[in-house]
């Protein structure tokens, strides 16, 4: 299975994969509690995430865009508010709604602070997202997408950090050499988060 860098002109099918894979993901269930609004707004939101990943990181996919993985590089693993604005997030309070936007920002700040606490200034890659088309699961696509990312980090002797809000993902990443660094819950909202790290092989 050939893994390639995503051509920005093919962003839409990549975002479609993200939307299908993450529609019931706890984070987006929290950001968009109403399923109808989530269906309407998630393509916009994940489109801006993809803009950000393409601009500041690297995005990997398959030839047929059946999965997507994106990372942020050492030294730039936390996106600033201004950088988010540059990537199209300025209307976010209107798209999410004021209350949901405030909730999302509080959650993002907590997750970002926890990320920095765990890595403690150590240069590392941030596996920001990994998604496979639900219709193509269990075909080794996720493992293939991780391949060049793990190889890149190993060659540079850099760890990789990720967090997930779905406990089922913990065992999946452990099979690729990640260990569970911390488990916590986002204050006020009681949303669980599992933080994982992979040391260079």
How do residues 142-151 score in pLDDT, each as one tens digit? Answer: 999 999 999 9
How do residues 12-46 score in pLDDT, each as one tens digit? Answer: 999 999 999 999 998 898 888 899 989 999 999 99
Residue 191 in this model has a pLDDT that exceeds 90: no
- Closest by CA to 180, choosing from 172, 188, 22, is 172
- The proportion of the chain whose per-residue pLDDT surpasses 70, expressed as a percent, equals 100
- Asked if residues 163 and 195 have their Cβ atoms less than 8 Å apart, the reply is yes
Could you tell me how many residues make up the chain? 201
How do residues 64-87 score in pLDDT, each as one tens digit? Answer: 999 999 999 999 999 999 999 999
Model pLDDT, residue 16: 96
The domain ranges of the chain are 3-158
E runs forming strands in the chain = 3-5, 58-62, 67-72, 125-132, 160-164, 179-186, 191-198
Burial of residue 58 (number of CB atoms within 10 Å: 0-12, 13-18, 19+) = middle
pTM of the model: 0.94
**3-class secondary structure, 14:** helix
Q: How far is CA 147 from CA 23, 77, 132, 143, 151, in A?
A: 25, 20, 14, 6, 6
Domain 3-158 has CATH 3.40.50.300: no
Report the distance separating Cα 170 and Cα 184, nearest Å: 14
Model pLDDT, residue 136: 84
Q: Scan for tokens 């391949």, then name that residue.
A: 147
Q: Which of 2-16, 121-135, 152-166, 178-192 has the lowest mean pLDDT?
A: 178-192
């Amino acid at each position: 299975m050939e893994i390639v860098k995503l051509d920005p002109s093919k962003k839409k099918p990549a975002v479609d994969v993200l939307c299908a894979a993450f529609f019931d993901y706890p984070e987006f269930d929290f950001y968009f509690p109403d399923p109808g609004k989530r269906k309407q707004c998630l393509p916009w939101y994940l489109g801006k995430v993809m803009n950000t990943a393409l601009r500041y990181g690297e995005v990997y996919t398959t030839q047929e865009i059946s999965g997507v993985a994106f990372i942020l590089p050492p030294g730039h693993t936390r996106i600033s508010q201004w950088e988010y604005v540059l990537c199209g997030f300025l209307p976010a309070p209107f798209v999410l709604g004021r209350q949901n936007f405030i909730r999302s920002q509080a959650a993002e700040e907590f997750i970002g602070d926890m990320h920095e606490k765990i890595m403690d200034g150590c240069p590392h890659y941030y596996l920001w997202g990994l998604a496979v088309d639900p219709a193509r699961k269990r075909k080794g696509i996720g493992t293939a997408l991780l391949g060049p990312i793990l190889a890149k980090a190993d060659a540079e002797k850099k760890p990789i950090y990720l967090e997930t809000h779905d406990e089922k993902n913990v065992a999946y990443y452990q099979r690729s050499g990640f260990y569970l660094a911390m488990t916590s819950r986002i204050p006020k909202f009681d949303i669980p988060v599992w933080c994982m790290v992979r040391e260079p092989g």
